[in-house]
Amino acid sequence: MQRVTPFLWFDGQAEEAAQFYTSIFKDSKIKHVSRYGEGAPVPAGTVMTVSFLLFGQEFVALNGGPQFKFSPAVSLLVRCESQEEVDHYWDRLLDGGQAMACGWLTDKYGLAWQIIPAVFMDFIQDKDQAKVNRVMQAMMQMVKLDIAALRAAYDGK
């Protein structure tokens, strides 16, 4: 059993967002939808929570109301094995959202994502600080990350 589960607060779009996310990621599905009962601050039968899986990782989405908004201070990082994966997740999550910089975007619900090639993490953990610096300088110039350009920076080309 997963012991830490991201719990995401939405303003009425929890089920829509869960359907959107599960349409993008592999090994994903809606697990359960719970509804508000009588006496709740919203009409009985309104979706309260949606539990769903992305890559087998459980998430819960709550329709909690307009009090809280997402912020890039908390983001979900997606490690990608290829440029094709970077492009897929970037393009799908960006639909209706907003590109930021350095592989970050906010989706149409305001949730922040980092679409990061796995090799980038290897590059920035290298013991050669000059390589790390070149990769970081290249990344800081990008919006969507480009594996070939990051590798060229790592290799000093």
Q: Provide the percentage of residues in the chain whose pLDDT is more than 70.
A: 100
For residue 38, the model assigns a pLDDT of: 96
pTM of the model: 0.94
The model's confidence at residue 1, banded by pLDDT at 50, 70 and 90, is: confident
Residue 37: HSE in the Cβ half-sphere, 13 Å Cα cutoff: 0
Residue among 141, 146, 13, 23 nearest 85 (CA): 146
77 pLDDT higher than 80: yes
CB-neighbour burial class of residue 41 (10 A; exposed 0-12, middle 13-18, buried 19+): exposed
For residue 2, the model assigns a pLDDT of: 86
Q: What is the 3-state secondary structure (H, E, C) of the chain?
A: CCCCCCEEEECCCHHHHHHHHHHHCCCCEEEEEEECCCCCCCCCCCEEEEEEEECCEEEEEEECCCCCCCCCCCEEEEEECCHHHHHHHHHHHHCCCEECCCCEEECCCCCEEEEEEHHHHHHHCCCCHHHHHHHHHHHHCCCCCCHHHHHHHHHCC
**119-154 pLDDT, tens digit each:** 999 999 999 999 999 999 999 999 999 999 999 999
For residue 84, the model assigns a pLDDT of: 98
Q: Average pLDDT of 97-121? A: 98
